[in-house]
Every structure is written in C-alpha cells, then in structure tokens.
Amino acid sequence: MPLSNDDLIVEDGSVVEDANAYVTIAFVDAYHELRASAEWLNATVAQKVAAIVQATDYVDTRWSFVGSRADDEQVLEWPRLNAEDRNGFEQEDNVPLVVQQTVAEYALRALSGDLLPDPEPDENGKFITLKREKVGPLEEETRYSETVGKRYIKPYPKADRRLAQSGLVFTGGQRVIHA
C-alpha cells in the first residue's frame, strides 16, 4: 500500500511518540509553492511522505544541535532544552522554523535520491573519493579514501547554509554562527 499523509507523525514540540517528521506535507507544499518548485509540487503524496521522512532523518543524522534532548524517550532530536538561536532566542518546546525550512529544502533533494548514500567500494574493495577521466590526450586519475570509516557528506549549500547560520548547530566541536 502506498504511503499516505497518515504515515507522517509530525513532532510539534511536545515529544510526540514515534514521530518521524518535523513538518507536514502542507508546510512543505506551501514552502515550495512560494519558490515555484515544480519538482516538489508535481510529486505524489507517497513521494512527498518518503522525502519528508528521509529529510528529517538526514537533519538528525547530519547535524549536532545545541542544547540537549527534552526527553530521553523522544525519537527525534527536537524539541531540545537549553537551545538558543544565534540571536539568543530560546528554541525550547518547539521545532524551530529554520529546522522546518531546512527539512523542506532537503525533502526536495530527497525526491532525486538518497541524501546520505552508503559509500560503494570499487572492484578492489576500496572507497573512491575522486575519479576523473580525460579524453584527449587520455588521462585517468583515481583517489581512494585514506580512512575506511571516514564518510563524505554531500553538500547541499542552500539547505546547509540555512541551518548553519541559525546558530543551532555545531560542526567540528564548535557552534557555527555565520554573520
């Protein structure tokens, strides 16, 4: 049976049991309608549900948020305690608008494929980080990962920047706040 709107369990800041999304289809539809995103608006409900769940998973996997989870039983990273945005506004007992907007951005990208695919080794079992071929004169270059456990995270600049500028995330052990 295809996914439906009923398959989204949206976190509203009250620690919703079994939550799997930070946004509703209606929120993402409105967000992308304002941006004239035909790809999103033409997607089926089932595709949108899957993309929203994938985007929520990606946000929680990709980013380390300030503060701490509000409840040790909650499934998602939000709501959080002691979380302030870059302007010093408390972001407790809710899912910040910027997180919702970022999920909407990632959801659009999730329609086209996995946001964080598992790396695939080549025929030698090594993980390729760069492969370049040149036609004339012939030239080929292949670089392999120095560390097997190290993963490359594909950048999504528009979505990444939105969340990074919020002051709600850490990278490299430091809080990210861009002017």
Query: So what's the pLDDT on residue 133?
Result: 77
Mean predicted lDDT score pLDDT of the chain = 87
User: pTM of the predicted model, to two decimals?
Assistant: 0.81
- Confirm whether 90 is domain-assigned: yes
One-letter identity of residue 64: S
Residues 6+ apart with CB under 8 A from 174: none
Higher pLDDT among residues 136 and 35, named by residue: 35
83, part of any domain: yes
Looking at residue 144, its pLDDT comes to 66
Domain coverage including residue 164? 5-116+153-175
In-domain check, residue 14: yes
pLDDT of residue 173 exceeding 70: no
Q: How many domains does the chain have?
A: 1
Beta pairing partners, 16: none
Helix H or strand E segment including 150: none
Can you tell me the distance from the alpha carbon of 56 to that of 95, in angstroms, rounded to the nearest whole number?
12
What tens digit of pLDDT does each residue of 4-35 get?
A: 999 999 999 999 999 999 999 999 999 999 99
Would you state the pLDDT for residue 65? Answer: 95
The per-residue pLDDT for 78 is 97
**How many CB atoms within 10 Å of residue 174?**
7
Task: Look at residue 78 and tell me if it is in a domain.
Answer: yes
Report pLDDT for 82.
Answer: 94
The pLDDT, as a whole number, for residue 145 is 64
Is the pLDDT confidence value at 98 over 80?
A: yes
24 part of a folded domain: yes
152: confidence class by pLDDT, cuts 50, 70, 90: low
Asked if the structure places residue 134 within a domain, the reply is: no
- Average pLDDT on 60-87 reads 94
Residue 27 located in a structural domain: yes
Q: Give Cα separations from 132 to 128, 138, 152, 154 (angstroms).
A: 11, 11, 17, 18
Q: Confidence class of residue 122 from pLDDT cuts 50, 70 and 90? A: confident
| 147 within domain boundaries | no
